[in-house]
Structure 1
Amino acid sequence: MHVITWNRSFKNLPDQDDLGGNFEINDNFETHATVLDRMLAWEKKLYDEVKAGEFMKIDYQKKVALLQKQKKRGVKLETLEKTKAAVSHLHTRYIVDMQSMDSTVSEINRLRDKQLYKKLVDLVDGMAKMWSSMHHHHKFQFNIISGIRGFEVPPLPRGTTDQHYRHTRDLRDIVREWHMQFEKLMDNQKGYIKALNAWLKLNLIPIESNLKEKVSSPPRQVEPPIKNLLHAWHDHLERLPIELAKTAIKSFAEVISNIVLLQEEEITLRRRCEDTRRDRDRKIAQFEEWHRRYMERKASLGEDANTEVAETVNPDPVIDRKFAIEELEIRLKEEEGHHLRLARQVREKSLANLRMHLPELFRNMADFASFCHEMYSHLSKFAVLPKDEVQG
């Protein structure tokens, strides 16, 4: 990234006292971004000069036409000389403006051939190194993760904790962000090279004058080095199997999303078990408190003579309350059994998905990184600086 960023041009600059009255910055301090910024400023200057030149050319042609009419009509010599002077003045200004325009074109071409081309060569070299490193790391990741095939789900798998669920959800978000940023990287790269090719096509069109007088222009380099580099770069990017990597990342993001859904279902059931357990414990505590008071009250009243008749009319409330607690116990056991089975299913499905898709992800990314490394290594053949540039 140090090749592209703006910031490097402000590092290691000479002290302000050392600059004196010279505000020119050495080309070595320029970055890719600052070179583009300078070229844009010169392009705007050229645009203004060309537009002004067109208006001046129209005025010149009008004055020439007026002069021709005046000659045919035989106007006064004083009027004719005045028109001739105006034509000569416009012609001189046009010549001067064209020379200024040529200077602007020369500066743009100098920046193109001496600065932008050099920064693109640096970018090619940097991308080749980056993708070589990416290939190494993705291949290493593939070798490591291939060991997941030996993992087995334990007989009593651990349930999904809230922390585990948060980490899985974070992983899903990170992979989604990875997919989005990877897509932006490749799209912006293709867009930038496409834009440079379109600009170069216009840049190589000479600015011609249709005046009879020849205006001296600096010699143009028909095939600047940047042309072959940009054309090859564009063609290589078009053949790059970008969809291979994008699909691999997107598929893995969907796998993690499915695991998140499974974990959410498991956590929902776990919390239902916890609610049932708390309800059971609360009812047991209430029953024990009630049963204690009930037995104390019954003991204080003594044995009633008509106990048998009273029990027939009013069934023992202890039995009803115990029955309600037993129902909760049965429901809790069923929910716990369901939760245990679901926890095992979540572990098995998660592991099966990771076994299948995670090695596939890193294999595809390693292959894509290899393609990119080969592409930029091949582009290095087109990105050769002149000997004086290399020495400089």
Structure 2
Amino acid sequence: MPSRQSGEIENQHLKEVSKTSPSPPFQKGILRAGQPQSVAINLSGEKNIPQTYLSNIVDEKSKKKKVASFDLEDALHQNADPSKLSGVTPLSPDGNRDLREVVAEIRDDFEIASGFGKEVAMMLEVGKLPHQPSSLKAILSRIIFQIAPSMSPRDASSIQSIKSASETRKLAKSYLQDIGRNVNMKPCSLSSTLDKLLVWEKKLYKEVKDEEKIRVKYEKQCKRLKLLDEGGAEATQLDAAQESIRRLRTKLDVSIRAIDGISIRINEMRDEELQPQVAALIHGLIRMWKAMFKFHQKQFQAIIESKMRKLKANPAASLQTDLNSRATIVLERELSLWFGHFRNWIGFQKSYVESLNGWLVHCLHYEPEETPDGSVPYSPGQLGAPPIFVICNDWHQAMEAISEARVASAMNTFATILRQLGQKQDEEARQRLKAEYLSKDYEKNLGTRSFDEGKLEREQDAVSNKTGLSLFPVDNGVSPLDDLKVDLDSMRHRLAEERIKHKDAVKLVHDAASSCLRSGLVPIFQAFESFTSDALTLHEHVRLQYHA
């Protein structure tokens, strides 16, 4: 590898690493989801994908409408935690399934499906913390010991974070050991390989910079010697200049050999260590996508069967208005978190492969060829690049072809349904309070008027007995006592109307809650089934066995 090209490649690579978001290609845990955050649901748009053989796979598959089938039992025994395999049960054909039964089945499927990510987590060494030099640890230890006696409660969080780091290392070690026992395989140190490549590239960068400095001095001495020779300088001056040039030439040769040696070592690690580990990671992702597709398909079928059999909400639960309203708010928040984690998870995968493929592209020092029809698509196979370049380019195209837009749209729709359900619950609560207020007012007025009527009747009887006349004369056959009942009858009528309105509001809430599963979760699991199927198909078409 020429020295100047090495310097340009390294400079470009370091610039690319510094620009990469969210993580540079040589950091751990890029495929790991972040800490829980409340993320607003946002409809993501489709990307313009170059027309390659990978970008057409999903369209061809959707036209053929092939139903993929996989051996679930083999997948379970190869990838999942054996302690959880007993929880896998076939779908219940019973049509009388309420919300709790279906939701419990979906929850169990999620828990089992999450176990299929363990193999990928192990390959990426999830939980591994960046290396800390022993000298730094000793300094931190002494500093903490000195400030601990006078530490304020606010400063205690720093100590807690250091303790948490130690606990994280222990948990990660235990977690990886548990994974190793369950999947019967040795840890794949892809993260460690990337760490080593970074170390070697830093060495290469330093050597290239040193070589450039030596070359500048060498060229300067060569120009000086030429000027001395043309100016008729003395022989001693010429000899001294030539000796300086020889020393610089020796250093330059040593530096070039060091650059070549490091470049060879990087290429060996790239082809002999990184390539099989990347291939193993993609195989692990294929197994993960296959399992996720199977379980999302199972969840989708559960919802569909429930819909066909008119899944019923629990009527007794509808009476617990306040609890239901809070549950709706919690569900909407959890839906937002769910989509946020999903979006981050896919985003980290795309960022990971984009960084890795971008680094390889810079290693080739590739410049797109311009034609009258536009730029020629990047094809490392046609350039005669090693297999790792083809694998990562195919993987990058696969991830670029994956779109979360349908999942985002389904989740947005479900969030809208939940908000509408919340509005109906609020309206039902208002109608309930209004009916309760009128009922109490009616009961109060009923007691008061009953007392007044009894009092008036007793007074009427007393007057009639003495005089034989009525205390309250009747006009047109209507007794004044009847007027006392008019307001009460009017209030009774209003109360009946409000109770009917409340009953209608309860029915609306009940109907909305009953259809919430159908109109909300069905599109979500259908979108997830389609998404995981596309992801599986695209990953299966990555040319892992490519030979240049």
Residue of structure 2 aligned with 1:346, choices 509, 512, 529: 509
Conserved? CA contact 1:6–1:33, under 8 Å: no
Please tell me whether residue 170 in structure 1 is matched to residue 290 in structure 2.
no
1:63 corresponds to which residue? 221
Give the counterpart letter for 1:162 in structure 2: D
Residue of structure 2 aligned with 1:148, choices 307, 317, 323: 307
Taking the aligned partners of 2:446 and 2:192, their CA distance within structure 1 comes to: 76
Q: Residues 347, 383 of structure 1: CA spacing in aligned structure 2 closer, same or farther, 3 A cutoff? A: farther
Conserved? CA contact 2:124–2:188, under 8 Å: no
Residue of structure 1 aligned with 2:321, choices 161, 177, 184: 161
Q: Residues 331, 153 of structure 1: CA spacing in aligned structure 2 closer, same or farther, 3 A cutoff? A: farther
Q: Give a deviation string over 1:168-217, Cα, whole Å, max 9, x none.
A: 222222222222222222233223222222210112349xxxxxxxxxxx
Residue of structure 2 aligned with 1:370, choices 503, 526, 533: 533
TM-score (norm 2): 0.54
CA drift of 1:160 comes to: 5.4
Please tell me whether residue 382 in structure 1 is matched to residue 544 in structure 2.
yes
Please tell me whether residue 197 in structure 1 is matched to residue 360 in structure 2.
no
**1:226-305 residue pairs with structure 2 within 5 A?**
226-277=388-439, 287=448
Q: Residues 336, 225 of structure 1: CA spacing in aligned structure 2 closer, same or farther, 3 A cutoff? A: same
Please tell me whether residue 72 in structure 1 is matched to residue 230 in structure 2.
yes
Conserved? CA contact 1:6–1:34, under 8 Å: no
Give the counterpart letter for 2:424 in structure 1: L
Taking the aligned partners of 1:153 and 1:202, their CA distance within structure 2 comes to: 59
* Aligned-residue identity in percent: 24
Conserved? CA contact 2:407–2:527, under 8 Å: yes
CA drift of 1:228 comes to: 0.9
Residue of structure 1 aligned with 2:293, choices 129, 135, 138: 135
Give the counterpart letter for 1:228 in structure 2: V
Give the counterpart letter for 1:168 in structure 2: T
Q: Residues 67, 140 of structure 1: CA spacing in aligned structure 2 closer, same or farther, 3 A cutoff? A: same
Conserved? CA contact 1:160–1:343, under 8 Å: no
Conserved? CA contact 1:277–1:332, under 8 Å: yes
Q: Give a deviation string over 1:334-354, Cα, whole Å, max 9, x none.
A: 332211101212222443453
Secondary structure at 2:541 match in 1: helix
Taking the aligned partners of 1:234 and 1:96, their CA distance within structure 2 comes to: 38
Conserved? CA contact 1:121–1:384, under 8 Å: no
Q: Give a deviation string over 1:208-254, Cα, whole Å, max 9, x none.
A: xxxxxxxxxxxxx9622211101111222333343233323332232
Residue of structure 2 aligned with 1:93, choices 240, 248, 251: 251
Conserved? CA contact 2:360–2:389, under 8 Å: yes
Q: Residues 74, 327 of structure 1: CA spacing in aligned structure 2 closer, same or farther, 3 A cutoff? A: farther
Q: Residues 291, 226 of structure 1: CA spacing in aligned structure 2 closer, same or farther, 3 A cutoff? A: same
CA drift of 1:102 comes to: 2.4
Structure 1 stretches lacking a partner, 5+ long: 13-27, 207-220, 313-317, 386-392
Residue of structure 1 aligned with 2:204, choices 29, 46, 67: 46
Max Rg structure:
1
Secondary structure at 2:499 match in 1: helix
CA drift of 1:333 comes to: 3.2
Q: Residues 193, 322 of structure 1: CA spacing in aligned structure 2 closer, same or farther, 3 A cutoff? A: same
Give the counterpart letter for 1:182 in structure 2: F
Q: Give a deviation string over 1:258-307, Cα, whole Å, max 9, x none.
A: 2222223223333343444455566778x49x969x97xx99xx99x9xx
Taking the aligned partners of 1:358 and 1:178, their CA distance within structure 2 comes to: 13
CA drift of 1:371 comes to: 1.7
Please tell me whether residue 334 in structure 1 is matched to residue 497 in structure 2.
yes
Q: Residues 61, 363 of structure 1: CA spacing in aligned structure 2 closer, same or farther, 3 A cutoff? A: same
Q: Residues 7, 180 of structure 1: CA spacing in aligned structure 2 closer, same or farther, 3 A cutoff? A: closer
Q: Residues 97, 340 of structure 1: CA spacing in aligned structure 2 closer, same or farther, 3 A cutoff? A: same
Give the counterpart letter for 1:343 in structure 2: V
Taking the aligned partners of 1:118 and 1:343, their CA distance within structure 2 comes to: 61
Q: Give a deviation string over 1:39-62, Cα, whole Å, max 9, x none.
A: 223223322222222222111111
CA RMSD of aligned residues (A): 3.9
1:4 corresponds to which residue? 124
Q: Residues 329, 93 of structure 1: CA spacing in aligned structure 2 closer, same or farther, 3 A cutoff? A: farther
Taking the aligned partners of 1:35 and 1:319, their CA distance within structure 2 comes to: 96
Give the counterpart letter for 1:236 in structure 2: A
Taking the aligned partners of 2:488 and 2:330, their CA distance within structure 1 comes to: 41
Taking the aligned partners of 2:311 and 2:332, their CA distance within structure 1 comes to: 23
Stretch of structure 1 that moved more, 135-144 or 112-121 = 112-121
Taking the aligned partners of 1:364 and 1:355, their CA distance within structure 2 comes to: 14
Q: Give a deviation string over 1:324-380, Cα, whole Å, max 9, x none.
A: 77666544433322111012122224434533443232223212212222222222x
Structure 2 stretches lacking a partner, 5+ long: 1-120, 130-168, 175-185, 367-382, 474-480
Conserved? CA contact 1:153–1:348, under 8 Å: no
Q: Residues 266, 204 of structure 1: CA spacing in aligned structure 2 closer, same or farther, 3 A cutoff? A: same
Conserved? CA contact 2:321–2:425, under 8 Å: no
Taking the aligned partners of 1:45 and 1:311, their CA distance within structure 2 comes to: 114
TM-score (norm 1): 0.73
Give the counterpart letter for 2:310 in structure 1: F
Q: Give a deviation string over 1:112-153, Cα, whole Å, max 9, x none.
A: 223332332222112111111111111111221122232277
**1:17-36 residue pairs with structure 2 within 5 A?**
31-36=189-194
Secondary structure at 2:125 match in 1: coil
Taking the aligned partners of 1:249 and 1:279, their CA distance within structure 2 comes to: 45
Give the counterpart letter for 1:248 in structure 2: A
How many correspondences in the alignment?
344
Taking the aligned partners of 1:114 and 1:84, their CA distance within structure 2 comes to: 44
Q: Residues 274, 110 of structure 1: CA spacing in aligned structure 2 closer, same or farther, 3 A cutoff? A: farther
Secondary structure at 2:122 match in 1: coil
Conserved? CA contact 1:6–1:31, under 8 Å: no
